């Protein structure tokens, strides 16, 4: 499989995995044998070069934005109360790490599109849905010739009823923050997960 120590690199360059935070990325990276990294697609393309990037099958995952925001919050905050979540959203959803896009501008990892874009738009070959993780992982195993590989469960947060964390203002704020994923993948606030 992949050389350990190479962020996102699978099977010596056959694939490059873009880990969008809180979408089972640590589990996918461990199962496929690459070093877990939260580098954006643009950062990974810069790291490996355009030639290697264009020869590899590049992919990442998205997740239901409202569920993902609660997961992000619970992962990064010890006070995981509904009120604390609403205050965090009202305060602009401050994140715990920073990335920079293709023009050197700071990006917000809670905006899922920021993980996958470069000059001219989305630069990955495939974006799967966290909600279809089992099927997506089977596709990856087929593509990379993985046999007898199990997807571990790494970095999971408690799985509460995420809807209870929201009031109208926080629901609308996350909808605005991650409108790309909502539009592209048809997510709805109370939609199926």
Structure confidence by residue, pLDDT tens digits, 130-171: 999 999 999 988 888 888 888 888 877 777 789 999 999 999
3-state secondary structure 144-178: HCCCCCCCCCCCCCCCCCHHHHCCHHHHHHHHHHC
* Euclidean distance between CA atoms 59 and 124, whole angstroms: 6
The domain segmentation of the chain, as residue ranges, is: 9-185
Structure confidence by residue, pLDDT tens digits, 74-117: 887 776 788 888 998 888 777 655 555 555 666 566 788 888 98
């Amino acid at each position: 499989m992949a050389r350990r120590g190479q962020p996102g690199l699978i099977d010596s360059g056959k694939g490059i995995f873009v880990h969008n935070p809180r979408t089972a990325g640590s589990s996918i990276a461990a199962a496929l044998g690459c070093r877990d990294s939260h580098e954006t697609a643009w950062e990974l393309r810069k790291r490996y070069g355009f030639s290697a990037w264009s020869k590899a099958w590049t992919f990442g995952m998205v997740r239901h934005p409202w569920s993902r925001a609660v997961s992000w919050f619970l992962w990064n905050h010890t006070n995981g109360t509904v009120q604390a979540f609403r205050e965090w959203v009202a305060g602009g959803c401050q994140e715990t790490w920073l990335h920079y896009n293709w023009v050197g501008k700071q990006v917000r990892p809670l905006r899922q599109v920021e993980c996958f874009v470069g000059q001219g738009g989305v630069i990955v070959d495939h974006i799967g849905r966290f909600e279809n993780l089992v099927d997506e992982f089977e596709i990856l195993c087929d593509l990379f010739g993985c046999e007898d590989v199990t997807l571990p469960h790494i970095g999971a947060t408690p799985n509460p009823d995420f809807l209870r964390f929201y009031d109208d203002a926080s629901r609308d704020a996350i909808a605005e923050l991650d409108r790309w994923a909502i539009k592209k993948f048809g997510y709805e606030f109370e939609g199926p997960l």
